[in-house]
Amino acid sequence: MAHADNSITTRKLNGSLGKQIVFRDWEGKTVVAKSPKGRSGKPDPAQAARQQRFLIASRYAKAVIKSADQSLAEAYATALRPRQNVYSRALEDFMSPPVVQFIDTRNYKGAVGEKIVTLAIDDFRVTGVRVEVYAANGTLLEAGNAEQNTNGIDWTYTATQANNPQAGSKIKAIATDVPGNEGTLEVTL
């Protein structure tokens, strides 16, 4: 890939020259690259699934830009990386689900009012964390939304049901981001 500083010969060039090279404007500079090659054959199921997910992500990013309420587009604009625009930032957020990194159960012994703390992160923003507590036999005892702590990444859930006996119980945390992606983590006590 070559870069030109918009000299007399390359200024305002945009598009392809035959099937050999492509000219693009990127941040005020002309970029020259090889033409992309067409695909041959049908995609395998995994490729088809990725293509479908990318198509949906592209529609999400376009909807963010075209929305009458520009607050989300402005929020994405504040989190741009170098050489990135709002469209690509929204697309990246859609393609990157949140991650629940850990569930801290040290202060949870199965009593009402005890705290379960989770650490959930996303490339843009986690909008909520839901915590589910399952008994040792697999039945759902309780579920609810955790409250975000002041540090912005920890979320605390306060138990509302007694859980006795506690051994073998499972706690599941489900984090959600702006586009609605989910990331989960489950621990067994």
Q: Output the tens digit of pLDDT for each of the chain's 189 residues.
A: 445 555 656 666 677 777 788 887 777 777 888 888 877 889 899 999 999 999 999 999 999 999 999 999 999 999 998 889 999 999 999 999 999 999 999 999 889 999 999 999 999 999 999 999 999 889 999 999 999 999 989 999 999 998 887 788 999 999 999 999 999 999 998
pLDDT at position 31 is 80
- The CA–CA distances, whole Å, from 182 to 70, 74, 120, 134, 173 equal 24, 23, 11, 19, 10
The total of other beta-carbon atoms located within 10 Å of residue 104's CB is 15
Are 174 and 183 contacting, i.e. CB atoms less than 8 angstroms apart? yes
pLDDT at position 5 is 58
- Does the pTM exceed 0.85? no
The total of other beta-carbon atoms located within 10 Å of residue 63's CB is 12
Partners of residue 29 on adjacent β-strands: 26
What strand order describes the sheet that includes 115-121? 99-104, 115-121, 154-158, 147-148
pLDDT at position 10 is 60
Q: Which residues in the chain are classed under CATH 2.60.40.10?
A: 99-188
User: For domain 99-188, is the CATH number 2.130.10.10?
Assistant: no
Distance from C-alpha of 103 to C-alpha of 59, rounded to nearest angstrom: 34
pLDDT at position 1 is 47
Distance of CA 51 to the CA centre of its chain: 17
pLDDT at position 30 is 78
